Amino acid sequence: MIRYIQASTIDHLEQILLLQQQNLPKSLTDKEKELEGFLTVEHSLEILKEMNDECGHVIALNNEKVIGYALCMHPRFAESIEVLKPMFHEIYKVVKGKSNYMVMGQICVAKSHRGQGVFRRLYETMKENLPAGFDTIITEVDAKNQRSICAHKAVGFRKLKRYSSDGKDWILVVL
């Protein structure tokens, strides 16, 4: 049985990083990226822990093994990860001073558990566990990642805007 909780141990964070490594473009074939999707950001344990201390990442556990995660990224981390700085700059343009949102920094489900509702439950659990005063989740998706675009749309995200940064097209979405 799969349980959904917020990460609370270093072991949880290390398992997130292991699953992340398996789904970065450097670990996937072009066909896998096209069919299964891919991740963009490679986190360090240090930044993952700092983010988790602010708002616990949501994980899906099967027999105590992390088989999925959704990273919570408080807006105070806007300048912490170089590749995500443009996303935050675009978010600021759209939200115009509002601060009731949490950024979902990355979501991933193990290949063995895809198509079983884990993605949806990760987002539901994230929304249920937002800090007091937060009622919105914002994230971005690489415009080439059709699997992720469709999955986000299926759980209720809507497009805020499309923009380009560092030669890539991104779609900013909100739930």
Closest CA to 98 of 138, 51, 126: 138
Going from N- to C-terminal start, the domains of the chain cover 2-174
Which residues have a Cβ under 8 Å from the Cβ of 62 and sit 6 or more positions away?
Answer: 1, 2, 113
Average pLDDT, consecutive stretches of 10 residues, N- to C-terminus, the chain (175 residues): 97 98 92 87 95 96 97 92 90 87 94 95 96 93 91 96 93 96
Report the pLDDT value the prediction gives residue 30, as an integer from 0 to 100.
92
Fold of 2-174: Aminopeptidase (3.40.630)
Report the pLDDT value the prediction gives residue 39, as an integer from 0 to 100.
87
Q: What is the distance in angstroms between the CA of the first residue and the CA of the last residue of the chain?
A: 27
Residues 107, 72: Cα–Cα separation, whole Å = 9
Q: What is the DSSP string of the chain?
A: -EEEEE--SHHHHHHHHHHHHHTSGGGS-HHHHHHH--------HHHHHHHHHHSPPEEEEETTEEEEEEEEE-GGGTTTSGGGHHHHHHHHHHHTT---EEEEEEEEE-GGGTTTTHHHHHHHHHHHTPPTT--EEEEEEETT-HHHHHHHHHTT-EEEEEEEETTEEEEEEE-
